[in-house]
Structure 1
Amino acid sequence: MKQKSLTKKPAVALLNAVLMLSLVTSALLIITNSYQQQQRSYLSLSNYYQVQTLLKLTLQERQKKPINGIRANTGKSRIDHQHKQIIIELRNGYQKQFPDEYEIDQL
């Protein structure tokens, strides 16, 4: 009788250890997934605001004098007069195009 009891204890301990390891792994996966989602959201917001800032700066500079684009610490803009687009490219590789509704006729 004692022999069976002694073999059950290590099996139960091993089963408990596996269960705890599974719970810890699940918690870590949930935390990692949440962190990655927050990181993607932050990157998306950061890209949006950097692009908007570069677009506004480009439009402001173009009101002062004819330009083909600007360079900034966060990226650069280029005005494509042929296709009537303003192209913003950030340093991290993100690129966005806007229709150039404010095309100034230059003689």
Structure 2
Amino acid sequence: MASIGVGWAFNQNGLPLIEEELGKIVTDDPSVVEASLDKYGEVVYPNETSVLQRIELLDKCFSHDTVEEIIDSVECEAGRTKDAWCISTLKRLKEVSPLSLKVSLRSVSLSLSWKHV
């Protein structure tokens, strides 16, 4: 199982077993559900181009409150490291509508502040 804070990934062949296991649960306690899912997890080693290899960089650049701060941060990293991913990301950020970036950032920020049930 690979967890990146958004969901889990499972081998599709094990899905019937997972469904059966979850069907036996008689509680809505999230820790019980998570423990059941963990039984079917797999160790995943992401390749070097995976976003998981850049998680610290993503946190550093995209944890800001405004689009302008995010772009400045990516620009700084692109200049400092000459990293191809930073350079291409910066190019894409500058090509798209600033309004759409701001709406997207606001949507993500609001969703992260919601209490998840």
Structure whose residues are more often strand by fraction: 1
TM-score by length of 2: 0.25
User: Comparing both chains, which one has the higher relative contact order based on Cα–Cα distances under 8 Å and sequence gaps of 6 or more?
Assistant: 2
Q: Highest CA radius of gyration, 1 or 2? A: 1
Structure whose residues are more often helix by fraction: 2
TM-score by length of 1: 0.27
